Chain A
């Protein structure tokens, strides 16, 4: 079997906070194949944005490996970093913040070309920008506009245009539709899927919106306080979630219909502990309705719970599946 496009192995990231170590990510491992989409879900402070930044080498990785097509990315020399920058792009949540307000949309989208395709003539680059604008559903006429003249949805399309103009192999999307209205959100999700098919790129799609992740992902990773709770194929995760946290998350999503069915995993009324002081044992035990003594003492390992489904819970075998 050929090596996956991206293999993250035992990744640890920590931040220094008031002379203490905040472990933002602990022991994260997963593979990503070409053309595949991995959804990453979890609540604020779970480490999902840190994961995006670590993959792009925007934060320092404490330990672990990130292999890009079989070679360790974190050891790469500056030239290889350039390769990374060309092959991996990111789309952020707030499109207004990710575009320079003083640069026209065209100039912003052309910037990656200036860096990586400097051999091309200005006219060639301009044609490329126009084509990319069309590709993301914006008219080439928008090239001379400034970000403040665009709507939120248009701005996000421009940010996507900038991210895909080099035809990256991997697109990391960090909450790309969270700031958008519902009717625009669906347009952007469809656009990302179309682009993915056209370009054959892989995606890491980070979102707190489980329903959106379900629509776009082949597999999904559930994080809590920087640790993997569950990693499973889309169908396994959404049909037969095994981790109590996954189940509680799914159960918390209000359904737009009357008399909606509930799975019945309710969290105790307390909230996520501060990431700087994570609980010992299973990090989720303070909120878990099924926690036993073992959960308070021993960190559960990620184990196989079914085909394409791995779960970090001491009790997953004892818990009823689904309802």
Chain B
């Protein structure tokens, strides 16, 4: 089956006055139709830049190398036509802050209809009807009235629902959601995640969900890729990541996030130190300096992301065994 999204050896670099920052350092990544994949990482891990590169939305000083295919069609920065056709029609996007993604001076109906008119050539009246149906699909009550409102008249949760509706408007094969619930209150986040679970059930739709929160991933994703310092360090089915994390970073990140069902006594588990800077690359494993298991080999030789069976892969010279984890 042709993957919805296939990325090969993707690099993203930014030229800055202080030198070149390499935000993504050779990522291979693939999403099958209907699959919901989470990308987890901390700030600076490259998770957002990777997806912005796919969408051709990098900042002006950014460049990419590598291959990106969407449903088998190669995208490149020189081929803007292909990019524009794919973007919007085949890929829908949802960003963290719906207020900055929506145009403040246009009604939400107009913004939704625009997508449909551009990509599907619908008439104004058809687009309006479709828009109302889309709002209903994302569980916005009184869609008939809401459609003529402006973004500021909606609550934060409602605006994010509108973003989901816009992302789905053209019947995309893939939705890319970058921290879609981070700016929302927890009760509203739960509603948006419930909406994502609905979407997962009812279609061939695939989703890439970028988040720093493993809890969000557990709720909606089939598979997870963990990024650190511009590379994927571990990828596995969601269930496996939680039960038996293999990469020490994955394990550390899971242990550092407080949960409502963990022990409350004693200090919290931390990961010592800080992520490395994007300006320099170390010869060995980027996590070595923070890793409790690092050996000389880790500092010398970069571990490659290798398949370890059962759809799992890990980039580590000393992956955790189940006992240690």
**Interface residue ranges, B against A (CB under 8 Å):** 42-43, 139, 141, 155-158, 185-191, 193, 212-219, 238-239, 242-243, 252-254, 256-262, 264, 267-271, 274-275
Q: Identify the closest chain B residue to A46 (Cβ).
A: B185
A175 smallest CB distance to B (angstroms): 13
Q: Mark A238-276, 1 if CB is under 8 A from B, else 0.
A: 100000000011111111111010000001010110000
Q: List A contacts of B185 (CB < 8 A).
A: 43-44, 208, 272
- Return the contact of A255 from the options B139, B215, B274, B275 (Cβ within 8 A): B215
CA A255 to CA B261, docked complex, whole Å: 8
Cβ-Cβ contact count across A and B, 8 Å cutoff: 116
C-alpha spacing A267/B242, complex, angstroms? 28
Contact check, B212 vs A271: say whether CB atoms are below 8 A apart.
no
Shortest Cβ-Cβ A-B pairs, 6 listed: A254-B215, A256-B214, A211-B258, A43-B185, A252-B190, A183-B271
- Report yes or no: B257 in contact with A181, Cβ–Cβ below 8 A: no
How close is B11's CB to chain A, nearest CB, in angstroms? 23
In the assembly, what is the distance between CA of A134 and CA of B189, in Å? 39
A307 vs chain B, min Cβ distance (A): 18
Other-chain residue from A209, A258, A267 in contact with B187 (beta carbon distance below 8 A): A267
Can you identify 23 A-B contacts, CB atoms within 8 angstroms? Answer: A43-B188, A181-B42, A181-B212, A183-B253, A183-B271, A186-B270, A189-B258, A189-B268, A210-B260, A214-B264, A248-B187, A254-B189, A254-B215, A254-B216, A254-B218, A255-B215, A255-B259, A256-B214, A256-B217, A260-B218, A271-B155, A271-B156, A272-B155
Across the interface, do B268 and A190 meet the contact criterion of CB distance under 8 Å? yes
Contact indicator B193/A254 (Cβ below 8 Å): yes
Q: Contacts of B219 on A, CB cut-off 8 Å?
A: 254
Task: Give the CA-CA distance A248 to B185 in the complex, in Å.
Answer: 12
Instruction: Choose from A182, A190, A253 the contact partner of B260 (Cβ within 8 Å).
Output: A253
Judge if A193 is at the interface, Cβ distance under 8 Å: yes
Kindly state whether residue A118 has any CB partner on chain B within 8 Å: no
Residue from the set A189, A255, A256, A267 with the largest chain B CB neighbour count within 10 Å:
A256
Q: Which residue of B lies closest to A256 (CB)?
A: B214
Chain A neighbourhood of B156, CB < 8 A = 271
Contact in complex: A258, B158 (CB < 8 Å): no
Cross-interface CB contact of B218 among A153, A256, A267, cutoff 8 Å: A256
Nearest CB of B to A208, in Å: 7
Q: Which residues of A contact B259 (CB under 8 A)?
A: 211, 255-257
> Could you say which residues of chain B place their CB within 8 Å of the CB of A248?
187
Interface residues of A (CB under 8 A from B): 43-44, 151-153, 181-187, 189-190, 193-194, 208-212, 214-215, 234, 238, 248-258, 260, 267, 269, 271-272
State whether A269 touches B260 (Cβ < 8 A).
no
A228 to chain B, nearest CB (A): 18
Residues of chain B within 8 A (CB-CB) of A269 are: 139, 141, 191
A208's partner among B155, B186, B216, B267 (CB-CB below 8 A) is B186
A253-B215, A255-B261, A256-B257 are known; give 11 further A-B pairs, CB within 8 A.
Answer: A43-B187, A44-B185, A182-B257, A190-B270, A208-B185, A215-B264, A215-B268, A249-B186, A254-B190, A258-B243, A260-B218
A203 to chain B, nearest CB (A): 16
A257 touches B258 (CB 8 A): no
CB of A257 within 8 A of CB of B218, answer yes
- Name the one of B139, B254, B275 contacting A256, with C-beta atoms under 8 angstroms: B254
